[in-house]
Amino acid sequence: MALGELERDGDLAIMSLSIEPIADRISQAVLSVVPNTKLSHLELLGIRSLILHAISDKHFFDWEMPILTGFTAAEFERIAEKLPQG
C-alpha cells in the first residue's frame, strides 16, 4: 500500500505489472536491518542477565570475545543497561 501511495504522489515510479514482488523484496531488506521488537519482557530480562553473566566471567569473556562480537565487556555492560532491569 505504501508503494502505491508513493507512486500516486509522484515520489516513485514503479515499472512493473505487480507491486507485490517489489514490496516483498523491500520488506525482506528492511527486516534484515530492523531489530525484532517482538521480544517479550522476560526474554529481554534473560538477554540482559546472560550479557551480565558473560562479562563477569573472565574465563568466558576473554581477549578473544571482543574480536568475535565486536564489543568490549564495557560496551556490553552499556548495552545491558539499556535492557529492562526487572
pLDDT score for 80: 96
CA distance 73 to 67: 11
* Best CA proximity match to 56, nearest among 85, 71, 77, 36: 77
- pTM score: 0.60
Phi, psi of 3 (to 5 degrees): -65, -40
Q: Calculate the CA 48 to chain-centre distance.
A: 15
Give the single-character DSSP code of 40: -
Percent residues over pLDDT 90 in the chain: 58
Whether the CB-CB separation of 48 and 84 falls below 8 Å is answered with yes
pLDDT digit string, tens, across residues 43-73: 999 999 999 999 999 999 999 999 999 999 9
Q: Which amino acid is at 31?
A: L
Please determine, for residue 24, whether its predicted confidence score (pLDDT) is greater than 80. yes
**Count of other CB atoms within 10 angstroms of residue 55:** 20
